[in-house]
Structure 1
Amino acid sequence: MSAAAKPQLAPAPTQASGATPPVYRVALTGGIGSGKSTVADRFVARGAVLVDTDAIAHTLTAPGGTAIPVIRQRFGDGMITADGRLDRAAMRELAFADPTARKALEAILHPMIRAETQRQVQAAAEAGAEYVILAIPLLVESGDWHGRVERVAVVDCPRETQISRVMTRSSLSREEVEAILRAQASREARLAVADDVIDNGGELAALDPQIDALHREYVARARAARHGGQVGRSGPLP
């Protein structure tokens, strides 16, 4: 469920003597159906390391996941499927109806997501990654991003395109998709925090030139940040 993926990352570290240089972090966000996964895959194909907070949340709530016993204790067996995973549809319905339930789920999941995110980011730094793409679907809604990543890239497309894509790939009705969209930040709110906007409203082939240009920029920014000895919120390249 998307409400599970709102990690609050630790502030970007400075480099201590002899320590692993911090890795440059680009937050990738966008509304449901915007094509974040497609964009993320293209960055990975060019050499970026992906840390996907939604994937982390799914692992935590899969059968045998670390979060399952805590969720079961808090919400009861009704939120766990027969095979032992989080019943995401039931939890989504409850979260829409009861904001306190959503906050309770976030209180369980966010520390776990944060810890695993930091572990993966550190592993990427130790492996010498040029930069990390942090896929954070609800980055805007979390309200805790400034100073914690170096760049924010927003995948953008028209609302009707989002609705069509989600209905095509899922069993959700238009009304259900629209309810999800209403619960997310508006398109305008996402664009307001963007350093970079990736237009994914058309053909897939139109993505590649955009990703090529951004990949080159992120590599340049990452190298400039390492040369400066620390990673921080970035402005124009020198």
Structure 2
Amino acid sequence: MRGTALRIGLTGGIGSGKSTVARTLVACGAALVDADAISRAVTAAGGAAIPEIAAQFGSHLIAADGAMDRERMRQVAFDDPTARRRLESIIHPLVGLETLRQYELAMGAGSRCVVFDIPLLVESGRWRQQLDQVLVVDCREATQIDRVMARNGWPRDVAEKILAGQASRRQRL
């Protein structure tokens, strides 16, 4: 990714406040490339990842509307690290392609600052060298868990399991 725009990676654990920071940066004129939104799009009904997810994991993980059954897949992926890596090997390349496409659109529109909201920036290892700066959004773990439970309606154990599967605060900072 080359260009004249400042490329900022925005990362942090689930429920840390990344979306709030992203909205603030967009309000200040930055373009936003949201990896979570892209991931949801490729796993939605008709999304590019759906055929391979069905082939690798079975059609029982595809909901009646044709989208990936996120709740069932979450259980599979967080209970089985091998399954999680298989899922990531399907989704991450598609997210990478769309991220590049959106960056090129922002550059074509004359954006001077592009924010890449990438929750798994630390975990993926591939993004850091493509960015000029990284902003880490951080808060107390208890706050993250409370936010995730309130926002997603998940029980505490699910929120804790997801948080445990992400890079630690020490790894991010």
TM-score (norm: length of structure 2): 0.95
Distance 2:66 2:130 in 1: 34
Structure 1 residues 115 and 22 mapped into 2: Cα distance closer, same or farther (>3 Å)? Answer: farther
Counterpart in the other structure of 1:129? 111
Cα deviations by residue, 1:102-145 (Å, 9 ceiling, x for unpaired): 11111111111111100110111111101100000011111223
Say if 2:71 is the partner of 1:84.
no
Tell me, yes or no, if the aligned pair for 2:121 and 2:128 is still in contact at 8 Å: no
The residue type equivalent to 1:99 in the other structure is P
Secondary structure of the residue aligned to 1:66 is: coil
> Structure 2 regions of 5+ residues with no counterpart?
none
Identity rate, percent: 54
RCO higher in 1 or 2 (8 Å CA, sep ≥ 6)?
2
Structure with the larger helix share: 2
Using the alignment, how far apart are the partners of 2:14 and 2:89 within structure 1?
A: 23
**Residue by residue, what CA displacement relative to the aligned partner does 1:69-128 show, whole Å, maximum 9, x if unpaired?**
121111111110111111111111111222221111111111111111001101111111
Q: After TM superposition, list the pairs within 5 Å mapping 1:1-238 onto structure 2.
A: 12-13=1-2, 21-191=3-173
* Superposition RMSD in Å: 1.2
Whichever residue aligns with residue 53 of structure 2, its letter is I
Count of equivalent residues: 173
TM-score normalized by the length of structure 1 = 0.70
